[in-house]
Amino acid sequence: MFWRKVAAPVKTGATPGQMQKSSVTSVHSAPMGRSDHALVNTRRNQLLRDYELNTKAGFDDLEGILKRVASWQNEEDFVVKAQALVQSEFGWQWPESLLTDAWKTGLNVKALYAYGIFKQFERLSQDFYQLNPLQDEQEAVAKQAFMAAGFHAVGVAPCADGRLAHTVSYVLRLPHNMVRRKAHAGVMFDVSESVRHWVFVEHDRFREGIPNPATESTRYLKIAVYHYSDKDPNHQGCAAHGSDEKKAAAAALQRLEDFQQAIENRFGCGSRVEPMLLGLNTDNDSLKVHLPNQEGQLCLARYIKTETLFDQTAGWPADQARAYLKEAMQQLAEQAGSSAPNDSMQDLLAWLIEQNFSQIAYVRQYEKGLYADIGHAERFIGLGNGFEEVQLRNLSYYGFLDTLEEGAPDVDVGIKIFKGLNVHRGLPAPVIIRCDYDGRVPGSRTRALEKARRIEQALHQRYSELSEKGELTSLCTLRDHQRAVPCEMVSMRLSPTWAEQYEV
């Protein structure tokens, strides 16, 4: 691998954090950049890699197991062999009724596959909450970074696309339990729902001083994350915006401004929320960081690229690299004829860029600088709320919703994706419905259960053609979000004639 240290733009005249025009056309044919950097957390990268490989293998190995099982279906000891194999590989068994009649009616591969996906998700949830595999020793550092910048709470709104499901724990390297993540197709998050959540956050500050007293002049930070592809911009961008990066960015910015305006209109100018806009290159997890001016106003044309900053500072001592990140922001603002972000925002953005450096190195080291699956490769669809345990890229397409009617655009996109991923190969679209509840509130679990069942019923009605063919399967789950406990499986629908209710 060949590389050369890129001189600081202050000496060369290049735009900091942005690639010179002469190099744009050759970016994909250029050698992969170096993955070592003084600001990269290599130990954390190895931990995250092990977790990703082990978790995804549990889903991906299912097809191979099913192929072996299908070859045995006419043997006398078929059921015993099939159950022994899946028990040894995954630690669970299929429902006996799905196997016993295989010699007469043929093996119901769709139902067996969906059941396996659902059981693997159950295992994922159990491991996540009981073993805490993503425990971050830098959690206190992260909280201090936001508080020092004047933010008492953080909300992250990525696109529902599965290629952004790892935005929190991998791309930004934030502790998952310190931010609120709600995904919507095209980053078209519900402004009214965001306002309601903001009210809850501020109420806790007024009544309990959590996370800090309301007398302190801190703000709520809302981060919107749109996405694009440099490798295939016309096909692998955001489906909700026709793979048009400019439309995706503009829509995300408009939502941020609407949320900001809604808070000011309802609660006064003293109740400001701060917007942050990030663009994620799903080819390699690098970011476009849109720089606010001194007053906090964002501009779509004013951004800095973390990948370029990584290469510009590779080989530098850590302190020098950190100092240059803020210097680059100031230079870019000056060249754009704008004021630079205020000092506290510069500190926070520089810290977030440093966090992303580790992910850039991650992709370069383990994926040769470019994901093999630059398109969709999700394993299931997640609908409802929660899903904090899903922190991996392309594991799940996720749509936050309270009712299927309200979330129909998100669900339609997800179903379209899985028609291409699964249905055309003879496999179903597995949908996991999650409704979280507050165990401290009487009747909360019952209402969550009713809500999950309403969503499931509406789902199968809306896509009845798929459902009747066994090409749409569903699992209803609940979770008490006030405790660090895994989800509980409530009911499962694997075919028009096979459904199972669990103890509720």
Of 161, 190, 285, 410, catalytic: 161
| Secondary structure (DSSP) of 52-108 | HHHHHHHHHHHHHHHHHHHTTTTSTTHHHHHHHHHHHHHS----THHHHTHHHH---
Cross-strand pairs, 504: none
d(CA 12, CA 15): 9
- Secondary structure class of 356 (helix, strand, coil): helix
Residue 393 host element (H or E): none
Taking the alpha carbons at both ends of the chain, their separation in whole angstroms is: 57
- Secondary structure class of 313 (helix, strand, coil): helix
d(CA 409, CA 155): 22
**Distances in Å between the alpha carbon of 374 and those of 217, 281, 412?**
42, 10, 21
d(CA 135, CA 348): 22
| Secondary structure (DSSP) of 148-210 | HTTEEEEEEEEBSSGGGTTIIIIIS---GGGSEE--BGGG---HHHHHHHHHHHHHHHHHH--
The tokens describing 393, both together, are 């890229």
The tokens describing 36, both together, are 């070592």
Examine the residue annotation and report whether 343 is marked as an active-site residue of this protein. Answer: no
**Distances in Å between the alpha carbon of 443 and those of 64, 95, 440?**
43, 32, 9
**Distances in Å between the alpha carbon of 380 and those of 114, 397, 414, 445, 473?**
9, 6, 9, 24, 10
3-state helix, strand, coil in the chain (%, to 5): 50, 15, 35
User: Which of 392, 178, 363 minimizes the C-alpha distance to 287?
Assistant: 363
- Phi, psi dihedrals of residue 180, rounded to the nearest 5°: -100, 120
In this structure, the dihedral spanned by the alpha carbons of residues 49, 54, 57 and 59, taken in order and rounded to 10 degrees, is -110
Give me the active site residues, please. Answer: 161
